[in-house]
Structure 1
């Protein structure tokens, strides 16, 4: 999160004015300094609130577009697992405002870019936290929405609609559509047959904060679901925002797998885990590439376009390993990659 500017009363931004009014209605924050620190790929915005030597984060989550209640619910679950998430200081669900504890301004991505040598310790900590979530999350995961066939299909359709159709201008004929749907079925089947766990759903370097205690701080968890065991680990290790040599990814995969509960390893050997991991990554990266172009064309947020080549390259490398993804391999190499060079 980066400091941008102090916010004042703004006749052009009703949300900021409401947030200001809400914060200053609390006696402890009447004269607090408020500055915007970030927005994200959703409609949420975040502000740092300083009072004397203390610092907090205010979240603006428009109720007609974002589910504040889900954030509170999942935050409570994660807090019970002893992982590091923001504490809820105050809430106004009706207006869509939350006041949270401040986990700091260093996300993993910034730290890793500045100090790549820190990766070993940072990823060890992240994998430990992920194990906590998946182990202790057994108590809570059935209270989350299911990562079911309907949702998996919807996510894959984002790639076709926004990258293939909107960006490239590509319309599949009957034969190609059949092959595309067969690839989708393969990816969906792979996701549904995996052991089910508590899934953060965006467990990557921009949502992990480097903290002095109980590292990492974990944010942006409100879309958590009950779903495939490999989803969060592939989100972390094949991150859309930073990449690592495949040998390093393999080492981290081994660290993750061999620390799993024995009951999981009994039904999923390492070879099967890697297969699940690879195909789950293809699903996630197809969705992400589509979302990045949707943000660009629909929402006017073009900052994620630079991350599409990395994301697409992950897909291509995996398709080289599996004949059942041959249609996708040709699509990525012959249609998607050339189109990305023109962005």
Structure 2
């Protein structure tokens, strides 16, 4: 980071107006967007400030969702001060401990059960002060799925698909879209995983919720349990998924007539949709945004796709294609 860049100087000036004592500001990270995060030290007290340029990012959804989640008793960082015009958001410092850094095979089930217990509260948030959350409808799903062929297959690997391959993709995308629309619609975080859950004093806090929508019941759960950044044994995931199924019925988020088999299919196909989208986004982050840190996560997302596709006869050809045509490319270009 160039500490003399104009936005950083503007940020320092804004922070100086918030505090009447000397402060120090240090860069923590940028996320998978145009947003940057800084830690602000005021004596022994620390805060986090987001530098979120308003010409590139709409900050209103984050601010509105932060309030809505707080009202729903979802643990989120407290917003302390905001400059909407400049795009600066001062908030509570939750520390540096992402859930991912704590996980191991012995404790993952306990931590994930705590995380899954937050989802019924998130499911109930379907609007904010800005109005109803956007609908994760067929057009939304198809826009997301289109990222996969455009950015991974074409931009990253320069693949020219045959007519049969294009038809195969279209059939799979139609199946995945149908799966989304078949599920109960709830409030959905849309990026609920171990890097977006912070641990502070043994309590989980939810971050990065600004893209929340109204969408399928299984989306957030599969995002967590089949994380794009780490994979757990099927025996662990299956038990947690079954617990989530029971939780959804107890919370009346799921009709009692929905069978375990139906729910598991929803869960599996929802994971496929997310992993295809994620693989495309990881390539887009490299080629459009110059962020190379995510490209190494493509092999895991495609391994999920190939493995889960094997469970369903109608997806076998697709799974074989991913395993034989795409996964070998990861050794060369991921």
The TM-score, its normalising length taken from structure 1, stands at 0.92
Counterpart position of 2:199: 210
Answer yes or no: is the 8 Å Cα contact 2:218–2:270 preserved in 1: yes
Counterpart position of 2:290: 300
Which SS does the other structure have where 2:332 is aligned? coil
Answer yes or no: is the 8 Å Cα contact 1:162–1:291 preserved in 2: yes
What is the rounded CA distance, in whole Å, between the counterparts of 1:267 and 1:92 in structure 2?
49
The answer to whether residue 64 in structure 2 is matched with residue 73 in structure 1 is: yes
Question: Which ranges of 4 or more aligned residues in structure 1 deviate by more than 6 Å?
Answer: none
Answer yes or no: is the 8 Å Cα contact 1:32–1:51 preserved in 2: yes
Which SS does the other structure have where 1:258 is aligned? helix
Counterpart position of 1:220: 208
Would you say how many aligned residue pairs link Structure 1 and Structure 2?
330
Counterpart position of 1:257: 245
Counterpart position of 2:6: 14
Alignment of 1:277-296 (within 5 A): 277-296=267-286
Answer yes or no: is the 8 Å Cα contact 2:184–2:253 preserved in 1: no
Counterpart position of 2:155: 166
What is the rounded CA distance, in whole Å, between the counterparts of 1:335 and 1:167 in structure 2?
14
User: 1:314-342 CA deviation, whole Å, 9 max, x = no partner?
Assistant: 11111101122234213211221010011
What is the rounded CA distance, in whole Å, between the counterparts of 1:41 and 1:194 in structure 2?
28
Q: Find 2:38's aligned residue among 47, 50, 58.
A: 47
Answer yes or no: is the 8 Å Cα contact 1:140–1:198 preserved in 2: no
Counterpart position of 2:106: 117
What is the rounded CA distance, in whole Å, between the counterparts of 1:105 and 1:143 in structure 2?
32
Offset at residue 121 of structure 1 (A): 2.3
Answer yes or no: is the 8 Å Cα contact 1:71–1:222 preserved in 2: yes
Offset at residue 116 of structure 1 (A): 4.2
Unaligned runs of 5+ in 1: 1-6
Which SS does the other structure have where 1:210 is aligned? strand
Unaligned runs of 5+ in 2: none
User: 1:218-258 CA deviation, whole Å, 9 max, x = no partner?
Assistant: 10000000000110000000000111000000010011111
What is the rounded CA distance, in whole Å, between the counterparts of 1:89 and 1:262 in structure 2?
35
